[in-house]
Structure 1
Amino acid sequence: MKTSLQKTSRASAHDIAAAIVVFQPDLDVLIALLDTIAQDGRRIFLFLNDLSESEVARLVDRVTNVRCLRSPQNVGLGAGLNWAMEAAAEEGFAYVVLFDQDSSPAPSLFEDLAVRHAAHTDRGAAVAVIGPLLVPAEGAYRAIRYEWRDAQEGTASFVPTSGSLMLVKAWRSIGPFRDDYFVGAIDVEWCFRAWAMGWKCLVARDVTMPHRWGSPAADGKSWKPQILRHSDTRTYFHFRNSLDCIRLPHPPLRWKISAALTLAAQAALLLAARGFSRVTRRYLWLGLRDGWVGRLGPLPGELAAAQQTSV
């Protein structure tokens, strides 16, 4: 294992793959990401959720060393990540760097993370994933708040997917991402599962990457709470998946209590800020109800139908 990791830290572009799951992207931002990670011929796995023919052509024409799967309908982030990991494993890659479609990495990110992964492994750590420290991108985005286990070492309860270097062997051992979560809290649940099985999840605090977390504040004020920047759909998934994660056996009790209190505060803030609107109450209630009983998957039919009617 040590020899393999040392080799990877000095590896060529073909030793670490990249993967992106795409849905309703800002094409200019996504193309900039593709240009950055494809400049040294790196293998890219691209999962395209519900894109038009013209959008697909514009993306695929940008790079040559790409393998893509196009889904005619949105099947969610978890399903796309699992396909990418499986495809990379089939082609013999030991590591995959996972990107959000609006990530903005430096060209050196792959090498930087591989070197730090090797350094921790050389000290005997079983590292499942290591990610960069995400910092707000341009515009009124909020900084991500990490839950550190050991800030000096860089261990965190969970590591955001965006820009993270994942060991394929760990993904095999820990199990696939929760595709029934669809979107939201997927990395949180997977990392808690990893910790419960003896793996570590790390953040390389000296490696930064700009990140667009959610939507920027419409009024340009970066202090606006993130929960108020969510669409109604993301509000549903946030509350549903977070509550379901609280119900699971592997997250620690301390986190469950903290997460439950945070959800209660977010619900109160959201309702107050939106004047207890009927639409917000409906999405919030259904998210909490479905999370409590473990009713997962894509947006429930009653909400999807309501969205179609309102268009």
Structure 2
Amino acid sequence: MANGSPLGIVVVYYHPDEHCVQRANSFADSGVCVVVDNTEQACSKRELGLREKVQLISNGANLGIATALNQGVRAVHDAGCDCVLLFDQDSEPSGELLNELPRMLRAEAAAGRRVALMGPAYEDARLGGVTPFVRFGFPALQRIAPVGTLPLQVDFLITSGSCLNLAAWPAIGPMDESLFIDFVDLEWCARARRAGFDLLGVPHIRLRHSLGGDPVRVLGRAYPSHSPLRHYYLFRNAVNLIGRGYMPWTWKWTELVKMPFRLVIYGVWLKPRTAHVKMAFLGIWHGLTGHMGALRGR
């Protein structure tokens, strides 16, 4: 990683509110800030209220999270950045995250470590607080408590709040745009690990992040909920990725085990029940038949 290179910051929008715009405007003081707007109606920076120094890519259509991230990464790469922080529009990073995460990534790279991605522990009070990091294992995922100050080797990091080493991007490749949304970050992390790169969780850096809609409580435990359309993508992409040879078999096993339980939760606790189950089964069918990209006509 080059000394003196600017930090890139990419934020993906979809119908943003004024708080989203304010955050992006503040990011522009920390580096090269690129906003990629997937809202169906194209807007200018002036219409959105973005500062002039923020770069805007307004797609005028929902092209999916993978495409938006690829567009943003290309933009900051072209601007000469060596690493990039990736954010959803509703993520609220601290000053520590904005400054410390890129510094730590650069330090690890300077020490000769092949690091593709570093990320914080994320915190969603609705789901019970700080979420543990994950390593794939058998018969279940290994959940690593975010404790201490040393980076932890993990197998998966969520996109939002993570810091990506742009030197690793050519060897790993871009996000898989056929997935559109859901499991985009997991699939990229699997390719990064397969290519010999490390993924590091930083336990003492936290990110407030809301995962999904209002949680549903099942037997005293909170689960993130989504719309029927999102459940279509969750099931479709999981099934499609299970069929890919490079995905870890330990992850495939845990997904196969969890699928029936998810179907029961969607069919019993979420409303409208029929819509959730119907879209889940449609996703399974499309995942098996390779019907990928955006679901049209919904």
Q: TM-score, normalised by structure 2?
A: 0.86
Q: CA deviation at 1:145?
A: 4.7
Q: Find the partner of 2:280 among 275, 284, 294.
A: 284
Deviations 1:12-70 (A, max 9, x none): xx710100111123x133124214312x26221111112546785343x3322122111
Deviations 1:205-252 (A, max 9, x none): 111111111113389xx94311xx210111111111122122212222
Q: CA deviation at 1:122?
A: 4.3
Contact 1:148–1:154 (CA under 8 A) maintained in structure 2:
no
Q: Secondary structure in 1 aligned to 2:222?
A: coil
One-letter identity of the residue aligned with 1:29: H
Matching residue of 1:16: 7
One-letter identity of the residue aligned with 1:246: I
Residues 255/17 of structure 1: CA separation in 2 closer, same or farther (3 Å cut) = same
Matching residue of 1:307: none
Residues 44/240 of structure 1: CA separation in 2 closer, same or farther (3 Å cut) = same
Matching residue of 1:191: 189
Deviations 1:129-151 (A, max 9, x none): 111111115xx345545313795
Residues 252/113 of structure 1: CA separation in 2 closer, same or farther (3 Å cut) = same
Which one has the bigger helix percentage? 1
Residues 274/209 of structure 1: CA separation in 2 closer, same or farther (3 Å cut) = closer
CA distance in 1, matches of 2:109, 2:15: 37
Structure 2 gap segments, 5+ residues each: 137-141, 145-149
CA distance in 1, matches of 2:81, 2:110: 20
Q: Find the partner of 2:34 among 36, 45, 51.
A: 45
Q: CA deviation at 1:277?
A: 3.5
1:204-215 maps to which residues of 2 (within 5 A)?
204-215=202-213
Q: Secondary structure in 2 aligned to 1:108?
A: helix
Matching residue of 1:295: 291
Q: CA deviation at 1:272?
A: 2.2
Choose 47-56 or 252-261, whichever is displaced more: 47-56
1:243-258 maps to which residues of 2 (within 5 A)?
243-258=239-254
Q: CA deviation at 1:80?
A: 0.6
Matching residue of 1:93: 81
Matching residue of 2:19: 29
Q: CA deviation at 1:168?
A: 1.3
Choose 121-130 or 71-80, whichever is displaced more: 121-130
- Where does structure 1 differ by over 6 angstroms across 4 or more consecutive aligned residues? none
Q: Aligned residue pairs: how many?
A: 285
Matching residue of 1:158: 156
CA distance in 2, matches of 1:95, 1:184: 23
Task: Give yes or no for the alignment of 1:82 onto 2:78.
Answer: no
Structure 1 gap segments, 5+ residues each: 305-311
Q: CA deviation at 1:281?
A: 2.4
Contact 2:235–2:283 (CA under 8 A) maintained in structure 1:
yes
Q: Secondary structure in 1 aligned to 2:168?
A: helix
CA distance in 2, matches of 1:218, 1:134: 19
Q: Secondary structure in 2 aligned to 1:288?
A: helix
CA distance in 1, matches of 2:203, 2:197: 19
CA distance in 2, matches of 1:241, 1:53: 28
CA distance in 1, matches of 2:188, 2:30: 30
Q: CA deviation at 1:181?
A: 0.7
One-letter identity of the residue aligned with 1:128: A
Residues 256/134 of structure 1: CA separation in 2 closer, same or farther (3 Å cut) = same
Q: Secondary structure in 1 aligned to 2:214?
A: coil
Residues 153/110 of structure 1: CA separation in 2 closer, same or farther (3 Å cut) = closer
Residues 23/280 of structure 1: CA separation in 2 closer, same or farther (3 Å cut) = same
Choose 98-107 or 267-276, whichever is displaced more: 267-276
Task: Give yes or no for the alignment of 1:232 onto 2:228.
Answer: yes
Q: CA deviation at 1:184?
A: 0.7
1:60-139 maps to which residues of 2 (within 5 A)?
61-136=49-124
Task: Give yes or no for the alignment of 1:147 onto 2:137.
Answer: no
CA distance in 2, matches of 1:246, 1:121: 32
